[in-house]
Amino acid sequence: MKQSEVKELSVAELQEELGKSQKAYSDLKMAHAVSPLENPIQLRTVRRDVARLATELTKREQQ
C-alpha cells in the first residue's frame, strides 16, 4: 500500500487496515518460522505497510 493510498483512508479504515496488516504479518512470520517462505520479501513489505498505517494514525491523532 502506497503512502498516497494511506492518506486517502478515513481513521476507521486505517484502523481496520492496520488490524488486517498486523494479522497478515503475524501469520507470515509464523509460516516462515515453520518452513521458509517462497518469497521472504513479503515480510518486509507487510511490515512496512503496518508502519505506514500506524504512522498515519498517530499523525492524525496528534492533530
Q: Per the structure, how many domains does the chain have?
A: 1
Side-chain-side CA neighbours of 52 within 13 Å: the count stands at 17
Does pLDDT of 4 surpass 90?
yes
**What digits encode the pLDDT tens for the residues 46-61?**
999 999 999 999 999 9
| Domain encompassing residue 23 | 3-62
Does pLDDT of 24 surpass 90?
yes
pTM: 0.91
Mean pLDDT across the stretch 25-41? 96
In this prediction, residue 19 carries a pLDDT of 97
Closest by Cα among 18, 26, 19, 54 to 42: 26
